[in-house]
Amino acid sequence: MTERPLNSDIIAHENDKTSRICAHADCNLAAEYRAPVSRRALTNYVWFCLEHIREFNAAWNYYANMDDDSIEREIREDIVWRRPTWPLGTRPATISEHIRDPQNLLDGAETDGPTDRETEVQMRRFSAAEREALSILGVVAPVTMVDVKLRYKTLAKQLHPDANGGDKRAEDRLKLVNHAYRTLRDSERVT
């Protein structure tokens, strides 16, 4: 968009109705149509008459003077309404996850009901080695042998030397996972 001389740089907010004459330099007609001042100030307006708003709209290019990467970034931000986003499964905890709600007043966001008591009872029954094994596998009580087996298979596939090109850290982690699985498999407390 090329810069136009504005009639005394009339910039007004939508509710400012004191001076509504066309902002074009050679026009004194009533201004009924608003246009943004710039891409960075979309809520500040310049007011034009019908003829000059048509000229403005024909010449307006939001993406003028932006390279391809900037345009792509702008489009991606607009997809999520310029709100912060997180990769799936990594969103920070919300306040409701820290609230105790024994009467389930938060519509299904139950955080202190029967399952919490069941979890607490089962965790008390586990030995220290079993609790450590649960931690290594990343399984949270109440836990069944099906849960343990499913998590073990997932981790074994992820950490297998063939999948990691012989990475020593992955190999060491796999040994820990194997030991944790054997501990829980042999436990009488996991059903």
Q: Which secondary structure element, helix H or strand E, spans residue 176, and what is its range? A: helix 168-185
Per-residue pLDDT, averaged over 130-154, amounts to 88
Q: Judge whether residue 169 has pLDDT over 80.
A: yes
More confident residue, 191 or 34: 34
d(CA 43, CA 14): 8
pTM: 0.41
Interval 30-74: pLDDT, tens: 999 999 998 888 889 999 999 999 999 999 998 888 999 999 988
Q: Which domains does the chain have, with CATH numbers?
A: 7-59 (no CATH), 126-191 (1.10.287.110)
Task: Kindly list the distances between the CA atom of residue 24 and the CA atoms of 34, 43, 45, 48, 177, in Å, as whole numbers in the listed order.
Answer: 12, 19, 13, 7, 73
Distances, alpha carbon 129 to alpha carbons 116, 123, 139, 186, in Å: 22, 12, 14, 12
Mean pLDDT (the chain, rounded): 79
Q: Mean of the pLDDT values across residues 12-20?
A: 57
Residues belonging to the chain:
191
Residue 113 in this model has a pLDDT that exceeds 50:
no
Residue of 145, 141, 146 whose CA lies nearest to 116? 141
Between 121 and 149, the more confident residue is 149
One-letter amino acid of 111: T
Give Cβ neighbours of residue 71 (< 8 Å, ≥ 6 apart): 63
Name 35's bridge partners: 46
Using a 10 angstrom Cβ sphere, with 0-12 exposed, 13-18 middle and 19 or more buried, the burial of residue 108 is exposed
* pLDDT 10s digits, 81-96: 888 777 776 665 555 5
